[in-house]
Amino acid sequence: MEESILYKDKEITVTTKEFRHKDNKHSMSNVTRALVTCSNELNRISIGLLVIAVFFWFVEGTAIVRVGLVWTLASYLFFVLFLMCEFFNFPEYPKPTYSITVDTDEGSKILFYSQDRNYIEKVVEAINAGLHREKWN
């Protein structure tokens, strides 16, 4: 089958045979599917703050440590920080990073990162369309 262009812009070119990003080329011959993955640091930070707040509430309530006001204030401080991170996006954290991940015979491989989810989804659709087209021809 002849190679045809499925998606092209200034950074990425997806054809039925390969994925090109600037000078990097990745063959599509052993790719089984492409998908969008996301990493969001904010969730990790806010959950960490919640765990610390719960820890302080637990320690404050035990009979072993009766420091009292210090532990109570610490737990409320971390809980307020958790709420600020989760609901008010404070402090300003970077946007989530999305990536194009392809499954191959050897395992998963990340091809490209971006903070623009729509852009990543368009490229993933093109890759999957090429895989589907190649499979039926």
- Is residue 48 within 8 Å of residue 70, measured between CB atoms? no
CATH code for position 11? 2.30.29.30
Residues 61 and 81 in one domain: yes
d(CA 82, CA 41) in angstroms, rounded, equals: 13
Q: pTM score, two decimals? A: 0.60
Q: Which residues pair with 100 in a beta bridge?
A: 36, 112
The average confidence (pLDDT) of the chain is: 76
Half-sphere exposure of 92 (CA within 13 A, CB side): 0
Q: How confident is the model at residue 124 (pLDDT cuts 50, 70, 90)?
A: very high
What pLDDT is attached to residue 122?
93
Confidence check: pLDDT of 112 > 80: yes
Find the radius of gyration of the CA atoms of the chain.
23
What total number of domains does the chain contain? 2
Residues 76 and 10 in one domain: no
- Predicted confidence at residue 63, as pLDDT, reads 47
Summarised one tens digit per residue, pLDDT across range 24-77 is: 888 888 888 898 988 765 556 666 666 776 776 666 555 445 556 666 666 677
Other residues' Cβ atoms within 10 Å of the Cβ of residue 14: 28
- Same domain for 45 and 30: no
Q: Note down the domain range covering 49.
A: 41-87
DSSP secondary structure letter of residue 11: S
Work out the average pLDDT over 10-22: 88
Task: For residues 34 and 50, state if they share a domain.
Answer: no
Helix axis angle, 41-61 relative to 69-87, nearest 10°?
160
Would you place residue 119 in the very low, low, confident or very high pLDDT band (cuts 50, 70, 90)?
A: very high
Are 33 and 54 found together in one domain? no
**Both tokens assigned to 82:** 């958790």
